């Protein structure tokens, strides 16, 4: 895959994940998919930790950022994308975010 093709695939992946998580009702760090990092914002530490653990148990690795690395009362689940992720893998990630988010009450 050429560098241009990889860059295009990375942006496609960012649009897919960002759009899928936004459609589920998650609050995201950006309004537009303008980064290979997609951050889900949560306001409750217990909820954030439970969701992070649920995602890890479901096979989805995300980084969690919390104070003091974030503003007080703000917790981030950060997804780092690469061009090698497939659309099917991202569909699975979105579905696992849905399940984890519903399990902890982050989304309806």
Average pLDDT over residues 92-100: 99
- CATH number of the structural domain spanning residue 37: 3.90.1150.10
In a domain, 95, yes or no: yes
In a domain, 16, yes or no: no
If you count DSSP H runs as helices and E runs as strands, how many of each does the chain have, helices first?
Answer: 3, 4
In a domain, 22, yes or no: no
User: Which tens digits make up the pLDDT trace of 36-91?
Assistant: 999 999 999 999 999 999 999 999 999 999 999 999 999 999 999 999 999 999 99
Specify the pTM.
Answer: 0.94
Given a cut of 90, whether residue 1 has pLDDT beyond it is no
User: Which tens digits make up the pLDDT trace of 12-42?
Assistant: 999 999 999 999 999 999 999 999 999 999 9
Contacts 24+ apart (CB under 8 A), 9-13: 9/83, 10/36, 10/81, 10/82, 10/83, 13/81, 13/82, 13/83, 13/85, 13/87, 13/90
Non-local (6+) Cβ contacts of 88 within 8 A are none
In a domain, 9, yes or no: no
Number of domains in the chain: 1
């Amino acid at each position: 895959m050429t560098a241009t093709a990889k860059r295009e695939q990375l942006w496609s992946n960012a649009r897919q994940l960002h759009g899928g998580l936004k459609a589920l009702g998650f609050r995201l760090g950006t309004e537009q998919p303008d980064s290979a990092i997609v951050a889900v914002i949560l306001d409750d530490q217990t909820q954030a930790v439970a969701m992070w653990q649920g995602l890890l148990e479901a096979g989805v690795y995300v980084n969690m950022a919390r104070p003091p690395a974030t503003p007080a009362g703000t917790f981030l689940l950060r997804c780092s994308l690469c061009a090698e992720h497939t659309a099917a893998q991202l569909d699975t990630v979105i579905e696992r975010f849905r399940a984890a988010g519903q399990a902890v009450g982050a989304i309806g």
